[in-house]
Structures are given as C-alpha cells and as structure tokens.
Chains A and B, each alone.
Chain A
Amino acid sequence: MTLQSVADEGVSAPQQPKSRRRHRLGKFVLPTYSWLVIAYLVFPIAIMIFYSFNRVLTGLQLVSFTWNGFTTEWYSQWSNVPGLTSAFWLSIRLALVATLIATVLGTLLALALVRYRSNKFRGKVAVEQVLFLNIAAPEIVMGASLLGLFVTFNVARGFLTLVLAHVMFCIAYVTVTVRARLSGFDRSLEEAAYDLGARPFTTFRLVTLPLIMPGVLAGALMAFALSIDDFVTSNFISGSNVPFPVWVYGATRVGIPPQVFVFGTAIFAVGIGFAVLSIFLSRRQSK
C-alpha cells in the first residue's frame, strides 16, 4: 500500500524536477516508514528487556503483565531456577559442539563444491540438491523424521542425538556461506605456494585457510545462531535434558520465571555485541 502511494506521488507532481521528487522520497517518506518498521521489530525486544526489571508481588515467582516497580533482583538471582540454568548451559555446550563440527564439515564440502566440476566430482548435483532441500524443507518435517529414525533404531534421546540433529541442519548453511565467499578465490595464490615447494596441507594451512577465514567465521556464527535458537527440531528429539528454547516452551504452560527474560536479554546483548563488532571490523578493513 505504501508502495502504491510512493508510486502515485511521482505521477501527481509532474511539474517538479525529477531529482527533487526523488530527493523527497528518499529523504522523508521512505526513511520515516523504515524507522517505523524498525521500531516495530525492536518493540517486543524492548518489552522483554523492560519486563526483565519488573518486580513480582506474588509468592510464585512468575512474570506478570502489570508493572510492579523496578528491580534488578532477577539479574542478581539469574541462576535461581535450576532447570532453566542447566537448560541454558546445555544449549551453550550444544551450540559450541554443533558449530565446531558443522563448520569443519561444511567448509570441506564447500571446498569440494567450488573446486570440482561435475565431471571430476560425480554426484555433485545430487549433493547440491540435498543441500538445497535441507535448507528449504520445513523444520517440523526434519524434526519429526529424526524422531521416527531414533525411535525405529532405538537410539536413546539425549545430548548425542541433539548434536547429530543440530550439525545436520547447520551444515548446509555453513556450506552455502563459505561457498559464497570462496567463489572469488584466487587459485594462483595456492599454485604459487606449490611452486615454492609447499605441501598440500601446508598450503591449506598457510594460504587457503587464512584467505577463506572470513567466510568460515561467518558460517560458524550462522551455525551457532541457528543451533542456540533451535526449538522445533530440538523439541522432537531432546530427552529429559532439554535445551533452553524447549525449556522455555515447557514453562509457558505453568508460567514463566522472570529469569527467562534475563537470559533473553543477555543473549540479545551478546548477539548485538557481535554484530556491532563485525560491522566495526568490516569498516576498518574497507578503509
């Protein structure tokens, strides 16, 4: 609808010079609209942070909709809900392990896909289609099918099954991210290393890896973010020890302890910190 008004605006004022109309659109209508959208995106997060400082009056320490006054109680008592704390650390451990494995496997696969054409790498098309399908398939189907697999083969559900599943859905994203960065890679640098007598592994360690490192790091961050926030798949396949999002989901039936918002705020702060850092670093690089 906004688009329509944007387009109409240009038509209704034909006497104005082109550049001025464009100017007004870029300087006023679109920015105002965009900041409104950003406000909409930030609003729930602001509410979450706000309510993490809300006092609780009842004996049951659960978040309430009414504002009861400011307190930092929940920050000092952040670890007072045992199930929540252990779920959080489980999520962190899980994300670290899954990220490490998925980044290594995904990077190797990306190397294979970028460097070899399908006449040297039979099955390349099949691998690409599986990756594509893996990204596009609804998560609930992946979670349900994994549960079916584990039940059929009698695999006990726990940390191991969570790692297996998280690596599975992270690999494709790492591969796609690394591959995007690899496409502009100058292979003559590797050839130079070979000419100077470097062995393949040395070349990889000293030439290839440092050059593709930004892509690998981006893939790793992506994998970490996917893993730590995963709810749908984890809900199907976690055993009695559940990761953070699944624990919070379970808590919605009985009520949410305010510490959930403290953890949410902390994760948000760390995430934003990383994002700002990456902008800062890329800016310094481009200067």
Chain B
Amino acid sequence: MDQVVSADHPRGLEKKRHRAGWGKRLAPYLLSLPAGLWLLLLFVVPLGVMMIQSLETCSPATGLCVMTWHWGELPSQVSLYRQQFVSSLEFGAAATVIDLVISFPIAYWIAFYGGRRKNFFLIMLLVPFFVSFVIRTIVWEFILSNNGVVLSFLRHQHLVPAGFHVLGTSYAVIAGLAYNYLPFTALPLYVAIERIDRRVLDAAYDLYANRRAAFLRVILPLTIPGIFAAFLLTFIPAFGDYLNQEILGGTSNTMIGTVIQNSFLVNFDYAGGASLSVVLLAISLLGIWLYARLLGSQAIEEYL
C-alpha cells in the first residue's frame, strides 16, 4: 500500500506497484465486505430460513418444528386468513390513496412556492416522525375515543348522534395508517415535483395551455414515477402494519400483520407465521417488481 517509494529501488517499486494493483483490485470487495456480510447473514439468510420454515410442521405445544416439506401450508394459511389479507389490502390501499390526495397539493406548493422556507416546510411534513410511532398511534386512540377531543366536541355541537363512535371501526384504522405514513407519501411526491424543469411548464403556457392542461399534460405525467414510488413506499408498510389495527381497530378488522405477530409471539406457530410472511413478502415484491419493470430499479431509490 506504500505509495512513497525512493527512486533508487526500482525492483521494490515494481513489487509495490504490483501490490498496490492487488489492493486496488480488492478494494471494492474489502469496502463492501462488512456491510455485505451483515446483510447476508441477517437479512438474506433469515428470509431463506423463513421460506424453509414455511414448509415445516410445528407442534403448537412445544414450539418445535420439523421439516415435512408441507407445501400445502401456504395455500391453506392463505385461504384460512383470506379475510385478513383482503382487509389489509383494503386498509393499506385506502390509507395510501388518502395520503396521495392529501399530500399532492402541499408537495406541489412547497416545491413551487416554498422559496427560502422550503426546508422549514419539509420538516413540518416530517414532524410526525419526531414522535415515536407507538406514541403517535396511542395519541390517535386518545383523539378518536368517545370522550376524546374531537368526538365530545362534535357530540356537544349535535353534529353526530350520541351513540356515534370511531374507535374500533375500520375507519379508525385507516385514519391511523394515513396519519402515520403520510410523510412516506409526501416526500417522494415533493422530490418528483421539485425535479420538474420550470421551463417545460413555461413552454406549455407559451403554447397556450391553460392551467388544467398544464397540470394534466405536463406536471402529472412528469410526476408519475414519484406517485408510483410514493404509493409503494406508503402501501407496503401500511399493508404489513399491525399496530394501528391493534390499538385503533379493537378486536375486529384484523389485519394480516396481527395474525403474523400472533403466530410468532402468541401461538408459537412458526410454520404458519412463516407461510403468511412469505405471502406478504411476495405481494410486496410483486409491486416492487412491477415498478422496476416499468420505471427501472434505480428509480425508487431516488425518492427515499
């Protein structure tokens, strides 16, 4: 590695150059080895173990699992928890669409009119992340509860009937998901809109586009990759979420995340939990694969 070589040792110079060549050739591998190993052993291998586990049969009493190549576990778990998969998809999609609708105008405004206060507004968008995820959800339980700020006010104003409640319904779960994951939608949208070259917009106006045409035919098409990225980045975590359902949804409206968590931590049914996780992962990967197929695999990282 020594680069400083005195001129009167030509042989040494050659040797060291040779060694430096080796070092240079190995450099990318040495640099990526620690992180690569970490990810291999604690991310890739566990996913493999999980896939193997989904084919095992576990004893509910002892929690011990034996490999039985039980291929039927996957479809049987899916049909058993079909309802939970469907409601997870529904809640996740509803929350994501709400987030897209809420955050597009504000992302647009910050990108186009934010001026010097852009950073301030971006931090305001991120503000929920400065409070712990669990606490945020608990506070929503507070807010939406029957004696909470919102409902007691509405009841007092006779805007809702006395028996009206939100907590324990699917609306509460969707509201919680929408709040918790809003920054995941707003930031990619902001990045996408910010990137639009203003001259393109000026050109559209010069060509007599009205606002609607400029929006529909210039801004929207240019932000499509960002909208897709925002959709995936919001939908995937919302789809697998179980905290909002557990805290805000009560005992009904179970999502698949809750089932997985219970399989692993309550029922010790690792095979069942692993099968459901494999399906959950497959659905998420399908979305990612479609994205990569349509817009390139690098594209989504640009919106992180």
Contact = CB atoms under 8 A, between A and B. Distances in A.
B38 A176 contact: no
A229 B261 CA distance: 19
Q: Is the interface of A mostly helix, strand, loop or mixed?
A: helix
A49 B109 CA distance: 29
A129 interface: yes
25 contacts: A2-B101, A3-B104, A8-B212, A10-B211, A26-B109, A26-B113, A33-B106, A34-B109, A34-B121, A42-B124, A45-B139, A63-B142, A111-B31, A112-B27, A130-B36, A135-B304, A136-B236, A140-B242, A141-B281, A148-B46, A149-B49, A199-B4, A249-B134, A260-B138, A264-B131
B111 to A, nearest CB: 11
Nearest to A203: B3
Contacts of A96: none
Interface string A199-234: 111000000000000000000000001001101100
Interface residues of B, number: 99
B76 to A, nearest CB: 18
A229 B132 CA distance: 5
B249 interface: no
A83 interface: no
Interface in A185-211: 194, 197-201
A147 B2 CA distance: 46
Given A26-B109, A129-B297, A151-B270, A48 B131 contact: yes
Interface of B: 1-4, 23, 25, 27-29, 31-32, 34-36, 38-40, 42-47, 49-50, 53, 101-106, 108-110, 112-113, 119-121, 123-136, 138-140, 142-143, 145, 147-149, 179, 182, 205, 210-212, 215-216, 232-233, 236-237, 239-243, 247, 257, 260-261, 264-265, 270, 273-274, 277, 280-281, 284-285, 288, 297, 300-301, 304
A96 B54 CA distance: 35
Contact of B147 (A48, A65, A138): A65
Interface string A3-27: 1001111110010001001100110
A121 B29 contact: yes
A116 interface: yes
A192 B7 CA distance: 20
Nearest to B36: A127
A44 B124 contact: no
Contact of B35 (A51, A171, A194): A171
Contacts of A139: 237, 240
Nearest to A33: B105
Interface of A: 1-3, 6-11, 14, 18, 21-22, 25-26, 30-31, 33-34, 37-38, 40-45, 47-48, 51, 63, 65-66, 104-106, 108-109, 111-113, 115-116, 120-121, 124, 127-142, 144-149, 151-152, 164-165, 167-168, 171-173, 175-176, 194, 197-201, 225, 228-229, 231-232, 235-236, 244-245, 248-249, 252, 256, 260-261, 264, 267-268, 271-272, 275-276, 279, 282-283
A34 B149 CA distance: 23
Contacts of B103: 37
A42 B47 CA distance: 37
Given A138-B240, A141-B284, A199-B2, 5 more contacts: A31-B109, A44-B131, A136-B288, A140-B257, A249-B134
Contact of A138 (B43, B112, B142, B281): B281
Nearest to A198: B3
Contacts of B4: 197, 199
Nearest to A37: B106
A135 B43 CA distance: 11
A66 to B, nearest CB: 7
B221 to A, nearest CB: 15
A30 B3 contact: no
Nearest to B243: A231
A273 to B, nearest CB: 10
Contacts of B40: 130
A41 B236 contact: no
Contacts of A260: 135, 138
Nearest to B268: A151
A76 B48 CA distance: 49
Given A129-B297, A132-B301, A256 B31 contact: no
B273 A26 contact: no
Given A149-B49, A260-B135, A124 B240 contact: no
B35 A7 contact: no
Contacts of B53: 148, 152
A74 B280 CA distance: 42
A168 B39 contact: yes
Contacts of B1: 199-201
A7 B29 contact: no
Nearest to B302: A180
B21 to A, nearest CB: 12
A132 B300 contact: yes
B105 A268 contact: no
